[in-house]
């Protein structure tokens, strides 16, 4: 079934933040961001801005009734800089005016001077200077010190991966207005309405029950609105609360790019040891995460890097350390994969390094070391329902890797200028928030007396199709058409204390809560049906909007059943609460069972490189993916295609560049290149591995949001193989993104 929102999307009827009809008297806000990356504020003069006709008020930290603090995990992030600015673009003031243009004009009249402080943009330098956001963490397995002796080969290297701009279609924004009883209502483009609510409560010093955050849908998020939407929601709320007027704040694209954090760049040193028969015996890595100026979600992202640092491999002796480094960049944040892609890039780099030194294809090492059933992950969880070998074997069979390899060699020896390369990218991704507490969700279901159904959950629809999946869950349980079902906006007054829609877990957590609510209602309706048809409740089933008794029609339709239940004064409303069972993690030991299950898959990526120009095409991606029992193959395929492209973009062309003063140079779409249709592989072949699907996935349909992004990592190594085909003197290095400029340098680089 298609996404239930498609019709409204293509006809322009879907409501995004900017489509909400404006209330009379609505004011418009614009943010003044620091023009420097690090400095002590010596003067902040808002008088010229304040006196511009049409300006209502300019807010600074002085105007905050509660705490000037928006950090979600660590209290290290002011809403408005007070004495020191820590990154270029950091919010210092908010101008509120009668119209948007005036607000923006007034922003330019704000005068700020600073006494410069040292600007650090490099995480290794930050670590040297002791600038850490939190203490480092290390995950260990086996005995790394003793293991090196058992290795026939040991290779060392360095791997760097860059930032990535989320480029959600809808920029950050919020619309806030006063509501009854000294309360405030906020429409926010956020993945985490409860975070917005909680933070407004802290900053305004009013209780959470006075704040209602509502989200219809987002025009994309990709992790960029898990934490970073909060500040803008709070600013709009602050102005609306103090001025008693509706206030709208929506960032211009250039401001959004400059002011918000991105995927964390990582710089890592690795050491890998193998035996002659290609068994990886030991793997050690130290990673420097570029966290930006405050913690934001960096501690959680660092944790997922640790979890996924061995990707889909069993390595008996492992030691992984991550330093979360404070730099003078916007706080880097969640981005699809949440630190896992950065971790996986390092182990894949280590394998590629070993392969090139040993003059064998990397996939031989990959294949030898894939996880098996009951292997223990380096974080203590025992691997169950492991599908990576099935995926790998299926791919190799479906897409004759030996034959392709031979064809590529033949092509390369008969072509001077064009070279082809191929690489395989296995993926193992754990499903659950690594913070156990967050793995809970609630759903509220109303069956109206006409038989229509309204569903509220904590899930945010951001284009990923979660509303469609939830509608399908309820439609399946009640055995009614999805046209009877409406997904309500995500609203903190209807469903409270929610986790952000993140960690690929939106459908699982909210879907399972929905199942609980629906089953309670179903039981009640069956009791009514049993009474109506003089039968035992166990003989009652609902099928195709009708009541059956022992499989035979009773003549009672869904609508009649609901109406009779209402007349009998039976409650047609239910709440479901779900918390993922079994999971836990002990941070003192860095061991536990953090994930409900894992998603597995593997991609083979083939590229052709123009060795005169350094330009390239990704020719095809052959993927075998474990969907479990997919609830919606169309949506899931869309997630794979989108994730793959976003991963290819991150690895190849998307280059976020800051200068040494911490100013974003790739600050617009003319200087920041994202993949378009011409960058897409000509073939994307996605094969679903046939499995039953795990019990803890919603209706056994596995989470699909983040895992496919990491297939794109294969593009880096495919390109690298093509470079080696042209320049055998090139010693692989690992410095993503592999832009055409970098490719060109490597093509003509001699050892
Ligand atoms: Mo997602 S990167 O967990 O918001």
The pLDDT tens digits of the residues spanning 637-688 come to: 999 999 999 999 999 999 999 999 999 999 999 999 999 999 999 999 999 9
Of ligand 1's listed atoms, the one at least distance from the Cα of 334 is: 2
pLDDT band at 128 (very low <50, low <70, confident <90, very high): very high
pLDDT band at 297 (very low <50, low <70, confident <90, very high): very high
Place of tokens 């190594």: 717
Of ligand 1's listed atoms, the one at least distance from the Cα of 224 is: 4
Of ligand 1's listed atoms, the one at least distance from the Cα of 335 is: 2
Q: How far away, in angstroms, is 223 Cα from ligand 1 center?
A: 4
Q: How far away, in angstroms, is 705 Cα from ligand 1 center?
A: 9
CA separation, residue 666 to residues 183, 718, 738 (Å)? 41, 26, 16
CA distance 635 to 638: 5
| pLDDT digit string, tens, across residues 447-470 | 999 999 999 999 999 999 999 999
- Res 49: pLDDT: 98
- Res 680: pLDDT: 95
Query: Taking the CB of residue 535, how many other CB atoms lie within 10 A of it?
Result: 16
Place of tokens 């005995």: 143
Of ligand 1's listed atoms, the one at least distance from the Cα of 500 is: 4
Residue 313 in contact with residue 389, Cβ under 8 Å? no
Query: Is the bond into 737 cis (omega within 30 degrees of 0)?
Result: yes
Summarize the chain as % helix, strand, coil (round to 5). 35, 25, 40
- Res 649: pLDDT: 98
User: Contacts by 18-24 with C-beta closer than 8 Å and gap 24+?
Assistant: 18/170, 18/173, 18/250, 20/175, 20/187, 20/216, 22/175, 22/246, 22/248, 23/177, 23/246
Query: 249 pairs with which residues across the strands?
Result: 29, 174
Alpha carbons within 13 A on the beta-carbon side of 193 = 27
Place of tokens 């994307």: 684
Query: Is the bond into 739 cis (omega within 30 degrees of 0)?
Result: no
User: Counting Cβ atoms within 10 Å, is residue 7 exposed (0-12), middle (13-18) or buried (19+)?
Assistant: exposed
Average pLDDT value for residue range 408-413? 98
CA separation, residue 478 to residues 474, 475, 698 (Å)? 6, 5, 16
Of ligand 1's listed atoms, the one at least distance from the Cα of 223 is: 4
Three-class SS state of 55? strand
Q: How far away, in angstroms, is 500 Cα from ligand 1 center?
A: 9
CA distance 533 to 469: 33
Left, alpha or beta for 465 (phi > 0: left; psi -120 to 50: alpha)?
A: left
| pLDDT digit string, tens, across residues 231-257 | 999 999 999 999 999 999 999 999 999
- Res 690: pLDDT: 87
Residue to probe by mutation, ligand 1, list 262, 302, 334, 707, most atoms within 8 Å of CB: 334
| pLDDT digit string, tens, across residues 18-45 | 999 999 999 999 999 999 999 999 999 9
Of ligand 1's listed atoms, the one at least distance from the Cα of 336 is: 2
Average pLDDT over the chain, rounded to whole? 97
- Catalytic positions: 706
User: Counting Cβ atoms within 10 Å, is residue 318 exposed (0-12), middle (13-18) or buried (19+)?
Assistant: buried
Average pLDDT value for residue range 144-171? 98
Residue to probe by mutation, ligand 1, list 336, 431, 458, 643, most atoms within 8 Å of CB: 336
- Measured between its terminal Cα atoms, the distance across the chain in Å is 55
Q: How far away, in angstroms, is 261 Cα from ligand 1 center?
A: 13
Res 79 pLDDT > 70? yes
Of ligand 1's listed atoms, the one at least distance from the Cα of 503 is: 3
Residue 597 in contact with residue 488, Cβ under 8 Å? no
- Which residue, among 703, 699, 685, 705, has the nearest Cα to 629 in the 3D structure? 699
Q: How far away, in angstroms, is 227 Cα from ligand 1 center?
A: 9
Residue to probe by mutation, ligand 1, list 502, 509, 708, most atoms within 8 Å of CB: 502
Q: How far away, in angstroms, is 579 Cα from ligand 1 center?
A: 19
- Take residue 651 and report the two structure tokens written for it: 């690895």
- Res 236: pLDDT: 99
Residue to probe by mutation, ligand 1, list 189, 462, 503, most atoms within 8 Å of CB: 503
- Take residue 698 and report the two structure tokens written for it: 């919603």
- Res 1: pLDDT: 85
Res 751 pLDDT > 80? no
Q: How far away, in angstroms, is 133 Cα from ligand 1 center?
A: 20
Q: Which residues line ligand 1 (CB under 6 A)?
A: 191, 223, 226, 334-336, 338, 502-503
Q: Residue 462 carries which DSSP code? A: S
Residue 725 in contact with residue 420, Cβ under 8 Å? yes
- Res 353: pLDDT: 98
| pLDDT digit string, tens, across residues 724-740 | 999 999 999 999 999 99
CA separation, residue 643 to residues 110, 428, 646 (Å)? 41, 15, 5
CA distance 65 to 243: 13
Which residue's CA is the closest to the ligand 1 atom numbered 4?
223
Q: How far away, in angstroms, is 93 Cα from ligand 1 center?
A: 28
In the sheet where 616-625 sits, what is the strand order? 418-431, 597-610, 616-625, 683-688
- Res 327: pLDDT: 98
CA distance 273 to 350: 9
């Amino acid at each position: 079934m298609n996404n239930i929102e498609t019709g409204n999307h293509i006809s322009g009827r879907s409501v995004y933040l900017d489509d909400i009809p404006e209330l009379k008297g609505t004011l418009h806000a614009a943010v003044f961001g620091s023009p420097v990356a690090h400095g002590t504020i010596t003067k902040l003069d808002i008088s010229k801005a304040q006196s511009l006709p049409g300006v209502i008020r300019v807010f600074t930290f002085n105007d905050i009734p509660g705490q000037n603090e928006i950090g979600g995990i660590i209290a290290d992030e002011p809403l408005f800089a007070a004495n020191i600015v820590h990154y270029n673009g950091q919010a210092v003031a908010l101008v509120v005016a009668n119209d948007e243009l005036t607000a923006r004009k007034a922003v330019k009249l704000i005068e700020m001077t600073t006494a410069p402080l040292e600007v650090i943009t490099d995480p290794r330098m930050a670590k040297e200077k002791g600038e850490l956001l939190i203490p480092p963490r290390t995950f260990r397995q086996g005995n790394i010190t003793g293991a090196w002796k058992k290795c026939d080969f040991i290779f060392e290297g360095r791997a760097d991966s860059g930032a990535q701009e989320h480029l959600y279609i809808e920029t950050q924004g919020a619309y806030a207005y006063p509501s009854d009883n000294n309360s405030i209502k906020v429409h926010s483009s956020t993945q985490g309405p409860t975070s917005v609510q909680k933070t407004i409560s802290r900053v305004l010093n009013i209780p959470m029950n006075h704040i209602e955050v509502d989200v219809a849908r987002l025009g994309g998020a990709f992790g960029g609105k898990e934490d970073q939407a909060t500040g803008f929601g709070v600013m709009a709320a602050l102005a609306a609360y103090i001025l008693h007027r509706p206030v709208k704040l929506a960032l211009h694209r250039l401001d959004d790019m400059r002011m918000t954090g991105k995927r964390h760049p990582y710089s890592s040193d690795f050491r890998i040891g193998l035996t002659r028969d290609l068994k990886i015996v030991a793997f050690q890595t130290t990673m420097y995460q570029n966290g930006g100026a405050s913690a934001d979600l960096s501690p959680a992202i660092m944790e997922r890097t640790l979890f996924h640092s061995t990707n889909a491999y069993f390595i008996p002796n492992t030691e992984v350390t991550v330093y979360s480094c404070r730099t003078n960049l916007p706080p880097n944040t969640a981005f699809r994969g949440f630190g896992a892609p950065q971790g996986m890039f390092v182990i894949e780099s280590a394998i590629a390094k070993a392969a090139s030194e040993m003059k064998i294809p990397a996939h031989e090492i990959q294949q030898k070391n894939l996880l098996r059933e009951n292997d223990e992950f380096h974080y203590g969880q025992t691997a169950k329902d492991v599908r990576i070998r099935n995926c790998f074997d299926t791919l190799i069979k479906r897409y004759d890797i030996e034959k392709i390899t031979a064809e590529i060699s033949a092509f390369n020896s008969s072509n001077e200028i064009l070279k082809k390369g191929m690489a395989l990218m296995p993926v193992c991704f754990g499903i659950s928030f690594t913070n156990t507490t967050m793995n809970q969700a609630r759903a509220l279901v109303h069956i109206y007396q006409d038989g229509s159904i309204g569903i509220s959950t904590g899930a945010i629809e951001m284009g990923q199709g979660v509303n469609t999946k939830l509608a399908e869950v309820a439609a399946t349980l009640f055995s009614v058409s999805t046209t009877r079902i409406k997904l309500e906006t995500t609203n903190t007054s209807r469903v409270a204390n929610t986790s952000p829609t993140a960690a690929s877990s939106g459908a699982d957590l909210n879907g399972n809560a929905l199942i609980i609510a629906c089953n309670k209602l179903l039981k009640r309706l069956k009791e009514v049906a049993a009474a109506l048809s003089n039968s035992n409740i166990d003989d009652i089933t609902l099928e195709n909007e009708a009541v059956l008794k022992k499989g035979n029609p009773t003549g009672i339709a869904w609508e009649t059943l609901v109406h009779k239940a209402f007349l009998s004064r039976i409650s047609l409303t239910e709440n479901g609460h779900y918390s993922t069972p079994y999971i836990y993690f002990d941070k003192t030991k860095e061991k536990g069972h953090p994930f409900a299950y894992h998603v597995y898959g593997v991609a083979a990526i083939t590229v052709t490189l123009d060795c005169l120009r350094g330009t390239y095409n990704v020719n095809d991606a052959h993927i075998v993916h474990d969907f479990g029992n997919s609830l919606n193959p169309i949506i899931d395929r869309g997630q794979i295609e989108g994730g793959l492209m976003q991963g290819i973009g991150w690895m190849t062309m998307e280059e976020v560049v800051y200068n040494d003063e911490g100013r974003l140079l790739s600050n617009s779409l003319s200087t920041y290149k994202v993949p378009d249709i011409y960058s897409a592989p000509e073939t994307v072949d996605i094969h679903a591995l046939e499995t039953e699907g795990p019990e803890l996935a919603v209706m056994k349909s596995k989470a699909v949001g983040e895992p496919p992004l990491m297939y794109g990592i294969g593009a880096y190594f495919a390109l690298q193989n093509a470079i080696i085909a042209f320049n055998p003197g090139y010693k692989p290095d690992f410095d993503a993104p592999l832009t055409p400029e970098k490719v060109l340098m490597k093509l003509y680089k001699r050892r």
